[in-house]
Amino acid sequence: MDLTGKVAIVTGASKGIGRATVEALLARGAAVAGWGRTAPEGLVHERFQFFECDVRDEVAVAEALTNTQRELGPEIHVLVNNAGLGIAGAVDGFKTDDWKLMFDTNVHGTFFCSRAVLPQMKRQQVGHIINIASIAGTTGIENMAGYCASKFAVRGFSQSLFKEVRNHGIKVTCVSPGSTQTNFFDDIPGTTPNDAMMSPADIAGFIIYSLETPFNFHVVEVEMRPLQPKK
């Protein structure tokens, strides 16, 4: 897809992978709607607009889509489901509210946003949904059961969705990054971002590559890992 003039929605646009993806899309000529609870600080661009949206709330998602289409036009070509969070803890001491918060954001938010844009993408017979999962969605991690379970769910959702919509010209790509230098680790004990990790721009670069693939094929799922994580 040539991204020039296309309309893209990025959730969780304020920091990390979300912000890097917004900047990469703008550099490729797209008009970008950033959805999130907090606007990206200092990001001003004639083709960027921020719409306050809590992806856990399906009504808020519907309103954000209405506002996006009013401001940027009816067509929606790209959705990047990036909003997410991780909370660590042993299962037998884990708070129910924290468990629900991860699933409401990571899983239900991905579902609400995808469901919202699909009717327009089907009318267009073209579109691309990028779901950000995690290496934690491919293997269990001690004291991260809730986060792993939510990201396994994102992968299962993505694999099912791509089979549903491929005949409508809609691509679905699930990206599972390994350790990346973001604020994700602020609430994860024992891990701090470091230069051996991937950068948000690394992930954004792959997202752009995936979006720009020719119409006749798409990348269904990919893992991304640091080359020398222990260095």
> Active-site positions?
147
SS3 string of the chain?
CCCCCCEEEEECCCCHHHHHHHHHHHHCCCEEEEEECCCCCCCCCCCEEEEECCCCCHHHHHHHHHHHHHHHCCCCCEEEECCCCCCCCCHHHCCHHHHHHHHHHHHHHHHHHHHHHHHHHHHHCCEEEEEECCHHHCCCCCCCHHHHHHHHHHHHHHHHHHHHHHHHCEEEEEEEECCECCHHHHHCCCCCCCCCCECHHHHHHHHHHHHCCCCCCCCCEEEECCCCCCC
